[in-house]
């Protein structure tokens, strides 16, 4: 059996990091219900079903169908899926690199919360646009790395959402035990380490001294030094 879930349609190492978080957050040997949306070609969802056959893994995607048929797949939009499955209750929801494709975040997060059992886990990942290379790209070219300067009418990744906004939506929706993990730092990203150190030295006092009800601990968890190098981040929260 495969030992790694593969890359799928996300940054290198993200699926492996999500699997590690999932292993520590819940017992995958139990007959849990796992909802993966959008699942794309089903790389992560199919791996979970293969490795943990007692799981019931559901994949949802409006545009792409999984290569494997070992999961319960629904070819429909996410909001439509929740509308069609009002009584569905899940133990885990994974949303890997899906946020840039969605609008209606208030409804989406409410649906995530409603469909989870009490104590259920939401794992949500997104491209990190706070890194040094993204800041430089925006400074010189007016856009960040994963988002085009000019959008097509059918643009896939279009909704640029900052980590502090996702933190806010999770809190507003009632989630607890929220934490964020920055991941996917490539070897060439360390070439920007000297600049990252200088920028964080300037950013840190601004972060800590700013008057705001968010605690110092939460600020440091949301904006650690890794933010300046990592290409991706993962939010983990419980209902």
> Over the stretch 120-143, which tens digit does the pLDDT of each residue have?
999 999 999 999 999 999 999 999
> What's the pLDDT score for residue 2?
67
CB 122 within 8 A of CB 175: yes
| CA angle (220, 229, 178) in 5-degree steps | 35
- Sequence ranges of the domains in the chain: 14-238
Superfamily of domain 14-238, CATH level 4: Vaccinia Virus protein VP39 (3.40.50.150)
pLDDT band at 67 (very low <50, low <70, confident <90, very high): confident
- Among 63-72, 81-90, 114-123, the least confident range: 63-72
Note whether 111 and 54 are within 8 A (CB).
no
Q: Predicted confidence band at 239 (pLDDT cuts at 50, 70, 90)?
A: very high
Quick: pLDDT tens for 21-57: 999 999 999 999 999 999 999 999 999 999 999 999 9
What's the whole-model pTM score? Answer: 0.96
> Cα-flanking dihedrals φ and ψ of residue 33, to 5°?
-100, 120
Over the stretch 162-221, which tens digit does the pLDDT of each residue have? 999 999 999 999 999 999 999 999 999 999 999 999 999 999 999 999 999 999 999 999
* In the predicted structure, residue 1 carries a pLDDT above the cut 60: no
């Amino acid at each position: 059996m495969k030992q790694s879930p593969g890359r799928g349609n996300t940054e290198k190492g993200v699926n492996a990091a999500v699997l590690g978080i999932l292993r520590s957050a819940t017992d995958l040997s139990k007959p849990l219900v796992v909802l993966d949306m959008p699942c794309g070609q089903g790389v992560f969802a199919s791996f979970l079903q293969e490795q943990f056959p007692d799981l019931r893994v559901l994949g949802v995607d409006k545009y792409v169908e999984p290569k494997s048929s070992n999961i319960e797949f629904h070819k429909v939009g996410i909001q439509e899926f929740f509308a069609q499955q009002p009584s569905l209750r899940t133990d885990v929801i994974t949303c890997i690199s899906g946020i840039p494709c969605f609008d209606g975040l208030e409804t989406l997060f409410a649906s995530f919360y409603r469909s989870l059992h009490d104590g259920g886990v939401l794992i949500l990942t997104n491209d990190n646009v706070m890194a040094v290379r993204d800041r430089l790209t925006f400074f010189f070219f007016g856009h960040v790395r994963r988002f085009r300067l000019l959008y097509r009418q059918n643009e896939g990744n279009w909704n640029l959402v900052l980590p502090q906004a996702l933190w806010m939506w999770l809190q507003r929706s009632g989630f607890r035990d929220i934490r964020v993990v920055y991941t996917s730092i490539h070897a060439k990203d360390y070439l920007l380490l000297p600049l990252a150190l200088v920028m964080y030295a300037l950013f840190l006092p601004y972060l800590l001294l700013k008057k705001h009800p968010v605690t110092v601990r939460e600020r440091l968890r949301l904006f650690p030094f890794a933010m300046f190098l990592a290409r991706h981040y993962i939010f983990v929260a419980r209902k």
